[in-house]
Amino acid sequence: MHKRILVTGGAGFLGSHLCERLLQSRHDVLCVDNFFTGSRRNIAHLLDDRSFELLRHDVTFPLYVEVDQIYNLACPASPIHYQLDPVQTTKTSVIGVINMLGLAKRVKAKMLQASTSEVYGDPTVHPQPEEYWGNVNPIGFRSCYDEGKRCAETLVFDYIRQHRVAAKVVRIFNAYGPRMHPNDGRVVSNFVVQALSGRDITLYGDGCQTRSFCYVDDVIEAIVRMMATDRDTTGPINIGNPKEFTIHELAELVLELTGSKSKLVFQPLPYDDPKQRQPDIRKAKEALEWEPQVALRDGLLKTIDYFDDLLRKGCGLNAVQT
């Protein structure tokens, strides 16, 4: 059915892909973003679509609109960005979700909250199932994001129990693909931009820490499927690729695919950086009939093409050099 759908953080990496997907399904999309980390470049190709509307707005302030569904993706998601203003990051996660849940309650909209694998912290259980409560430092440099997202999940389930809001939670693991910010500090964008620029590729620690990389198209497919489930399917459900790679393996693959002569250099591991990260996706397979389809090599090729084009146009070059 045709719906009017609100996407907060809609000009960001995942948000812009989600807006695009919803428009392809013939829905009206209201994209809300304060452009702290989002970019008009990400949604420029959608602006002429009569079913697309863009609103500059910060979700820490109430929003009064009439919608059928809400995808709440608003929050800086990389350490470089969320540590620039940690207080605002926590406010975005906590006050932002309160405002979106309040809106969902008022207009009886269905809501999906984009949470994160960071709620597991530096895990002592591997791979991480949804039942694992995590190992999170509540007072560290990453806590504004980790604990903000954990509190957001608490609020979602309290609104479900107390106000019968039709809400859901997905926990997203290491998504990557076109439209990532060239200076977001995430490992895929870092390695690709450094390799294309002929600069040293920076590995933190010994490079043996692991991540599981899920291509953006697979992530969006899972998110849309989660929204389509009945109200009893609340989650949280892990969304990610269960194939685990070391950071060193990723660096070597980026060098191979770019043909770069960049050298690998090692620096100390950042404080509270997780040593392992791998999702248990049994619930996603069962509830959503979903699992990732895009292999890391194929997804990286598309990501490399995007950043190569971006750098050739001179976009983001200043960011790359900082």
Residues annotated as part of the active site: 145
Which of 68, 142, 84, 147 is CA-nearest to residue 115? 147
Report which secondary-structure segment, H or E, holds 170: strand 167-172
CA–CA distance, 300 with 310 (Å, rounded to integer): 15
Which pair of structure tokens corresponds to residue 87? 């207080």
CA–CA distance, 238 with 119 (Å, rounded to integer): 11
Which of 57, 246, 283, 271 is CA-nearest to residue 169? 283
Q: DSSP of 99-116, one letter per residue?
A: HHHHHHHHHT-EEEEEEE
Q: What is the 3-state secondary structure (H, E, C) of 64-101?
A: CCCCCEEEECCCCCCHHHHCCCHHHHHHHHHHHHHHHH
Beta bridge partners of 173: none
Report which secondary-structure segment, H or E, holds 246: strand 245-246
